[in-house]
Amino acid sequence: MSDIPDTHPRAASLRLRERLVEGLHAGIVTETGLIAHGRGEAIDYLLGERTHPFAERAVAAASAVLTLAAHPVVTTNGNVVALVGRELVALAEHHPRLAFEVNLFHHSPERAQRVLSHLRGLGLARAMHFSESAAPAVLPGLDSARRFMHPEGVGKADAVLVALEDGDRCQALVASGRTVVAIDLNPLSRTAKMAQVTIVDELTRVVPALDRQLLTDRTAPREELERRLAEYDNRAVLREAVAAIRTGFAGE
Amino acid sequence: MSDIPDTHPRAASLRLRERLVEGLHAGIVTETGLIAHGRGEAIDYLLGERTHPFAERAVAAASAVLTLAAHPVVTTNGNVVALVGRELVALAEHHPRLAFEVNLFHHSPERAQRVLSHLRGLGLARAMHFSESAAPAVLPGLDSARRFMHPEGVGKADAVLVALEDGDRCQALVASGRTVVAIDLNPLSRTAKMAQVTIVDELTRVVPALDRQLLTDRTAPREELERRLAEYDNRAVLREAVAAIRTGFAGE
């Protein structure tokens, strides 16, 4: 499919672009989703396109949150499905406790169906969407179709993983009493600041790392996970992420 | 056309996105052009979406370069035409000495024709493209169709304005002995570093400002313009731009 040689210095970044462009042509990704990806690309470039220690600590905390939760749910949108569809399928196979729900910023019934079909076609049969519930739940504080929740998904979740998510939905999820883990390259975004655990790293690096950590934590004593969360400092993570990006933007 | 109210805090930025999405649908902008725009958006956000003094100094120097040149040429690509097509038409009307040439990163004869037709439809009748020359000139150091130059455009230019341009073409233009003015939001890009004058600012703010400065400079004594260029320090401009962006990315 791809003409990008492995030796190209920007091969990983260029392959992600290809996935998004394919997603656009498949009607999964929107045009503004491509622009949003470019904003993230700029930050990942400044991070040296690598995972930093602050992101590793956040992934460990995220795993603790999801492992301790009664009803952990991963929510995905068009960009997420285009970028890490296969990695989400692996995550779902390894962790049967995790629920998956699609939530789109630019919602239409047709687009939601395309995203769902794509995920299910990859193998994520249990992906949910509010439109397939007879009685969707409603998240207060949002006024678009993004407020609807599947009652078996985000509707009953106590912990939600959001990725590349808009600030107002993250804020509404936190305000509803749910614990929110966010994957966001911009440590200054509202999403990054509102979430209890913020993973500042590129999505295709985060999902496999989180998958591995969740496998390890499955046999961890509950007290260890609780201690890990008690010691976790999300503000420090965000501060370190800002510092790393500023260092990346250092001139010569 | 647009549903974005003037009072929206990000109205200007959202309107630019609309222009690009329309450009994509018209076959003028590419998908990777949308992603590239997102990268620029991230930086403009950190600049506070306003013109800084270092950009004003660079615009003054750019105007001096173009005014003193024997054959100044403005080169445009798909994103540039989508973002500032109308502003380029005004620039062309006000400054008959300026030539305009289309040069595409993702070239195809059809796309080149669409971009040219679009520009001419807006009123820029004298826009050139190498494909309309019987004997295109060749810029050494490039291996794609980007190396071709119209002999009446970049081919005979002594000064070239490039906007949102790739580093290798900027480098090749400088290596050919031409004076290059670049408009680029990333002061760390190869384009920004290679150009003799780098305007670190958003394109839709730059073109009208440059237009006004060129009008003022039309009656300026040659010695004044030469002195302005002698005193101009592009490295200082780039340093100040980096500092402004780092300040924008300051966290709490």
CB contact under 8 A, B21 and A31: yes
Q: For A235, which DSSP code?
A: H
Calpha distance B114→B85 (Å, rounded): 13
Q: For A145, which DSSP code?
A: G
Chain centre to alpha carbon of residue B239: 20
CB atoms within 10 A of CB A93: 11
Q: How many CA atoms lie within 13 A of A163 on its CB side?
A: 28
Q: Between the CA of residue A239 and those of A184, A200, B72, B180, B252, what are the distances in Å?
A: 14, 11, 47, 39, 8
Calpha distance B147→A91 (Å, rounded): 47
Q: What is the pLDDT of residue A5?
A: 66
Q: Is the sign of the CA dihedral B121, B151, B71, B60 positive or negative?
A: positive
Q: How many CB pairs under 8 A join A and B?
A: 82
Distance (Å) from the C-alpha of residue A151 to the closest C-alpha of chain B?
33
Q: What is the pLDDT of residue B4?
A: 65
Per-10-residue mean pLDDT, chain A, length 252? 62 88 95 94 92 98 98 97 97 98 94 96 97 96 94 98 94 98 96 98 98 98 98 98 90 49
Q: Which residues of B touch A (CB under 8 A)?
A: 17, 20-21, 24, 31-32, 34-43, 45, 186-188, 238-239, 242, 245-246, 249-251
- Chain A residues within an 8 Å CB radius of B31: 17, 20-21, 24, 34
Q: What is the pLDDT of residue B2?
A: 53
Minimum-distance CB partner of B31 among A24, A39, A251: A24
- Chain A residues within an 8 Å CB radius of B246: 246, 249-250
Q: For A128, which DSSP code?
A: B
Angle at B145 between CA B165 and CA B34, to 5 degrees: 40
At position B218, the amino acid (one-letter code) is: R
3-state secondary structure chain B: CCCCCCCCCCHHHHHHHHHHHHHHHCCCCCHHHHHHHHHHHHHHHHCCCCCCHHHHHHHHHHHHHHHHCCCEEEEECHHHHHHHHHHHHHHHHHCCCCEEEECCCCCCHHHHHHHHHHHHHHCCCCCECHHHCCCCEECCCCCCHHHEECCCCHHHCCEEEEECCCHHHHHHHHHCCCEEEEECCCCCCHHHHHCCEEECCCHHHHHHHHHHHHHHHCCCCHHHHHHHHHHCCHHHHHHHHHHHHHHHCCCC
pTM of this structure:
0.90
- Chain B residues within an 8 Å CB radius of A35: 17, 20, 34-35, 37-38, 41
Q: Closest chain B residue to A18 measured between Cα atoms? A: B32
**Which residues in chain B show pLDDT less than 70?**
1-5, 7-9, 251-252
DSSP H or E stretch at residue A170? helix A167-175
Relative orientation angle of helices A53-68 and A222-231, to the nearest 10 degrees: 130
CB atoms within 10 A of CB B234: 19
CB contact under 8 A, A39 and B36: no
CB atoms within 10 A of CB A249: 22
- By DSSP bridging, strand A159-163 and strand A72-76 are parallel
Closest by CA to B242, choosing from B47, B45, B51, B39, is B47
Minimum-distance CB partner of B249 among A35, A36, A249: A249
Q: Which pair of tokens denotes residue B59?
A: 């615009």
Place of tokens 């906007």: B163
ipTM of the shown complex: 0.86
Q: Closest chain B residue to A36 measured between Cα atoms? A: B38
- Chain A residues within an 8 Å CB radius of B20: 31, 35
Calpha distance A215→A213 (Å, rounded): 5
Q: Which residues of A touch B (CB under 8 A)?
A: 17, 20-21, 24, 31-32, 34-43, 45, 186-188, 238-239, 242-243, 245-246, 249-251
Top residue of A18, A31, A190 to mutate, by most chain B CBs within 10 Å, is A31
Minimum-distance CB partner of A242 among B39, B41, B249: B249
Q: What is the pLDDT of residue B1?
A: 44
